[in-house]
Amino acid sequence: MPIDPDYKSKLQKTGTHTAHDVWGEKAERPIDMAGYEAQIKANIERDGYLGIHGSVVAVDFDLCIADGACLPVCPVAVFEWIKKPGDSTKDGKLDESDKSDPIREADCIFCMACETVCPTVAIKIYQP
């Protein structure tokens, strides 16, 4: 189920988005979907492989099912909905394919709350 902690050595850096790097966009890769196969497979079939956003606060966009718990729990508002910039509320997603984007990963104070609350363990924090 969790995001692959070794993604930086396994995936290519494929671009940048807001102020962070993107890894493995459009690259098929094994994903541990345990418990959430239906939602995750539907997202990938519709949108392809989106890859992982961020290097300090990493969100696996292919594991993110738009649960929303990570956004309000962050004390420094690192995350915003990708389809609705500026919205960091739990239910601010536009639809089930929306993603939590770590647009302010440089502000992370490593409280680790986001890692804990995500149901699909799509988030991994790398403390420099």
58: closest CA among 94, 50, 38, 29? 50
DSSP-assigned states of every residue in 75-121: TT---EETTSTT--STT--SSTT--EE-TTGGG-----HHHHH-TT-
109 binds ligand F3S (CB under 6 A): yes
Of 34, 38, 42, 76, which one interacts with ligand F3S (CB under 6 A)? 76
- Nearest distance from C-beta of residue 39 to ligand F3S, angstroms: 9
Residue 48: which of ligand F3S, Zn ion, none does it interact with, CB under 5 to 8 A by kind? none
The residues that touch ligand F3S, with contacts defined as CB under 6 A, are: 57, 59, 64-70, 73-76, 78, 100, 108-114, 117-118, 120, 122-123, 125
